[in-house]
Amino acid sequence: MAQQAVGTPAYDASSIQVLEGLSAVRKRPGMYIGSTDARGLHHLVSEVVDNSIDEVLAGACSEIEVTLRADGSCSVRDNGRGIPVEIHPKYQRPALEIVMTILHAGSKFERNAYKVSGGLHGVGVHVVNALSEWLEVRVRRNGHEYFQRYERGTPVAPVVMVGDATSTGTETRFKPDGSIMETTTFDGETIARRLKELSFLNPEVTIHFSDERSGAQQTFHHAGGISEFVEDLNVAASALFRPPVYLHARRDTTDIELALQYTDGYNETTLAFVNNINTVDGGTHVIGLRAALTRTLNDYARERGWIKAEKEGLSGEDVREGLTCVLSVKVLEPQFEGQTKAKLGNSEVKGQVESAVNEKLSEYLEEHPSVSQSLITKALQAAEAREAARKARELTRRKGLLEGGGLPGKLADCHSRDPAQCELFLVEGDSAGGTAKQGRDREFQAILPLRGKILNVEKARLDKMLQNEAIRALITAIGIGIGDDQDVSRLRYHKIILMTDADVDGSHIRTLLLTLFYRKVPVLIQEGHVYIAQAPLYRLQKGSRIAYAFTDEERDKALSEFGGMKGVTIQRYKGLGEMNAEQLAETTMHPASRELLKVTIEDAARANELCQILMGEEVEPRRQYIEEHAVEVTNLDV
Ligand code: 0RA
């Protein structure tokens, strides 16, 4: 069949509008996708996948295939209805071209009520197009296949009919533009994680993922939805009951789904989604959920006389100890707040979630007395432990240990008293601690050496943790307190910098510290106070020329700049301790020459997950993990 253009190419006001729109996106990509780093890059993939998920939500799509191609492009193919190709009355062009170059996809077509158009999400596939070196779209619809190609967002030819089609659907393939994006290398694991999450949240869909660069292939389909999500989060833990509690309710136009399960551990894992977006910073829906949980469990326990009338009830912390839950709400007009737009702001949603969970959870408790008994017993034990922790804290406080006056003896504090200027280095080992002390700028840099292993918070309650000297020293130095006695305004250093060796022990300590922060003082990470120092792996010297390399690639680059191997001595640092104070200061500590990595809440969540797998009670997930990551963990000593 001969190729046939759809519509007539007319160069009029609408092409000017397209060009203006494109250049706005290319000039300020951050405004549309948050950043141009790896996070922004993966946001492009999400944006395209979300468009297919909208078809799933409209009940029109059951399969999505995401492929990372060998040429650095990514393609997303679905079996939805296909983007319309009919001539758009206002623009006199095929709707497909309009969606790809101007419109927020869906906004004019109302495919599904709960579109994500808040914050950085739902910005439209034209944004992906504008930030791509090239993008190709194929639509199967009306018995035909249509095709169009764009370069940097501009169509290079009209939409053409390229053949017949017996099915319907859309395939979008794009190669991110390296002149705008800081990185263009997709991370298969990051993408797979998001696809898996989407398959739990949308149990109707099957998502196939393949990475042609590595040959890896995975299929995600979870008919059990968010209940199965909770079970998956708890694979490495021992659950108090099975299956998880599942509730579904509607309040006004808001759809509310919740699955929860308790484990015999002490930590809380709550994942909250709004229109499929992970709201890592919580928001009104999470506040409503917490209020309902505390209220419902207290009411139930009091009605049965398990809490006496005169007694103080269960606190929020008590009812969340050992809780794993997934909350998924669908909101008509979501408002996302905060720096990363990961917090729900709609005030009406708090009451809606609270009322729905109050009603459905109390019904559930009435109908499942043995589950109710086990989870309330658990919360009552948590309340007792909280009381014990309070006493332990009082005791340490009276000894002056947790107060500003009694700073830990190991801390080499800085002179400045302005927290915004101050940095605290947490250094692995006394010897590297000593070097860091010599190398620091004592005006604003404080050093706390950490000896031995930090206690694993997965296995200890707060009262037990406070008996650990290293943890007490850490908490005291940081200043904001711990448990329900926290006050960020008492933070003594705005930068808390983990400085550990680049070996297995070092990464172990880093994982434990991140888990501790994530679990016990998450506000530190949420407000961006935690960093990881980057120490060099190599020192290269040729005569008086010295270079440091942080990766093998950098080492090779430095070597070629030196003009080859000849006369070059290469030192490979096995630990921080092998550097002298001056070298450590220059490469790793001094603000002008160092490189710090800011820890995100996702990084910390991953550290926590790793901790659960590697130190949890269950043997099987650990075995599986080690098998899958055999190369990276050959020397693991947990
Ligand atoms: C607008 C209207 C309709 C479908 C779509 C857009 C659509 C967009 C994307 C993006 C990726 N995959 C997609 N699939 C469909 C509805 C068209 C109709 O009613 O037939």
Mean confidence (pLDDT) of the chain = 89
Does 61 lie in the same domain as 107? Answer: yes
pLDDT at res. 459: 73
Same domain, 234 and 328: yes
Average pLDDT (377-388) is 91
State how far the Cα of 66 lies from the Cα of 49, in Å rounded to an integer: 8
- Ligand 1 centre distance from Cα of residue 58 (Å): 9
Instruction: Give the count of beta carbons closer than 10 Å to the beta carbon of residue 485.
Output: 12
Q: The tokens 């997950």 sit on which residue?
A: 609
Q: Encoding tokens for residue 303?
A: 């009605």
Q: Is the pLDDT of residue 629 over 70?
A: no
C-alpha 210/C-alpha 599 separation (Å) is 29
Quote the domain boundaries for residue 558. Answer: 538-572
d(CA 466, CA 95): 63
Assess whether pLDDT exceeds 80 at residue 405. Answer: no
Spatial separation of the C-alpha atoms in residues 172 and 148, rounded to whole Å: 10
Same domain (yes/no): 343, 465: no
Both 241 and 377 in a single domain? yes
Is residue 318 flagged as an active site residue? no
113 pLDDT tier (thresholds 50, 70, 90) = confident
One domain, residues 271 and 230: yes
Give 273's strand partners: 278, 328
Dihedral angle over CA of 184, 189, 191, 194, nearest 10: -150
What does the radius of gyration of the chain's CA atoms come to, in whole angstroms? 27
Residue 501 known to be catalytic: yes
Q: Are residues 51 and 193 in the same domain?
A: yes
Ligand 1: centre distance to CA 55 (Å): 7
In the predicted model, is pLDDT for residue 108 greater than 60? no
Take atom 10 of ligand 1 and give the residue whose Cα is closest. Answer: 51
Does a structural domain hold residue 48?
yes
CA 106 to centroid of ligand 1, rounded, Å? 7
Least confident of 66-80, 125-139, 572-586: 572-586
Position 117 confidence tier, pLDDT thresholds 50, 70, 90: low
pLDDT, average across residues 95-105:
83
Annotation says 65 is catalytic? no
Q: Are 414 and 327 members of one domain?
A: no
pLDDT at 369 over 80: yes
Lowest pLDDT segment from 237-241, 251-255, 424-428, 561-565: 561-565
Based on the structure, what is the number of domains in the chain?
A: 4
Residue for token pair 């909350």: 327
Which letter, b or e, does each residue of 120-151 get, where b requires 16 or more Cβ atoms within 10 Å of its Cβ?
A: bbbbbbbbbbbbbbbbbbbbbbeebbbbbebe
Q: Which of 50, 54, 142 to mutate to test the pocket of ligand 1 (most atoms within 8 A of CB)?
A: 54
Q: What percent of the chain has pLDDT over 70?
A: 93
The protein residue whose alpha carbon is closest to atom 19 in ligand 1 is 81
Q: 628 pLDDT exceeds 80?
A: no
- Residue 268 in contact with residue 309, Cβ under 8 Å? no
Selected catalytic residue, list 171, 321, 458, 501: 501
Average pLDDT over residues 55-69: 96
Q: How confident is the model at residue 102 (pLDDT cuts 50, 70, 90)?
A: confident
Residue 318's closest CA among 385, 273, 371, 397? 385
Q: What pLDDT was estimated at residue 635?
A: 39
The predicted-structure confidence for 551-569, as pLDDT tens digits, reads as follows: 899 999 999 998 888 899 9
In sequence order, what are the beta bridge partners of 412? 447
Question: How far is the centre of ligand 1, averaged over its atoms, from the C-alpha of 222 (Å)?
Answer: 24
Nearest in space to 120 (alpha carbons), one of 44, 179, 54, 186: 44
Ligand 1, residues at Cβ distance < 6 Å: 51-52, 55, 78, 80-84, 105-106, 109, 111, 170
Mean pLDDT of 165-185: 97
Confidence bin at 530 (pLDDT 50/70/90): very high
User: Does residue 295 share a domain with residue 266?
Assistant: yes
Establish whether the linkage from the previous residue to 243 is cis, with ω within 30° of 0: yes
Nearest to 138, CA basis, from 195, 72, 79:
79
450-477 pLDDT tens trace: 876 677 777 778 778 888 888 889 999 9
203 and 129 within one domain: yes
Mean pLDDT computed over 294-309: 95
The share of the chain scoring above pLDDT 90, in percent, equals 68
Q: Quote the pLDDT of residue 12.
A: 60
Other C-beta atoms closer than 10 Å to the C-beta of 366 total 11
- Ligand 1 atom with the smallest distance to the CA of 169 is 14
The answer as to whether 143 is a domain residue is: yes
Q: Does the annotation mark 637 as catalytic? A: no
pLDDT score at 462: 79
Ligand 1 centre from 78 Cα, in Å? 10
Q: Where residue 142 sits, what CATH number does that domain have? A: 3.30.565.10
Given a contact cutoff of 8 angstroms between Cβ atoms, the answer to whether 65 and 77 are in contact is: yes
Are both 255 and 132 inside the same structural domain?
A: no
The distance in angstroms from the start CA to the end CA of the chain is 64
Q: Is 215 exposed, middle or buried (CB count within 10 Å of its CB: 0-12, 13-18, 19+)?
A: exposed
Q: 323 has which bridge partners?
A: 262
Pocket test residue of 48, 74, 111 for ligand 1, highest count of atoms within 8 A of CB: 111
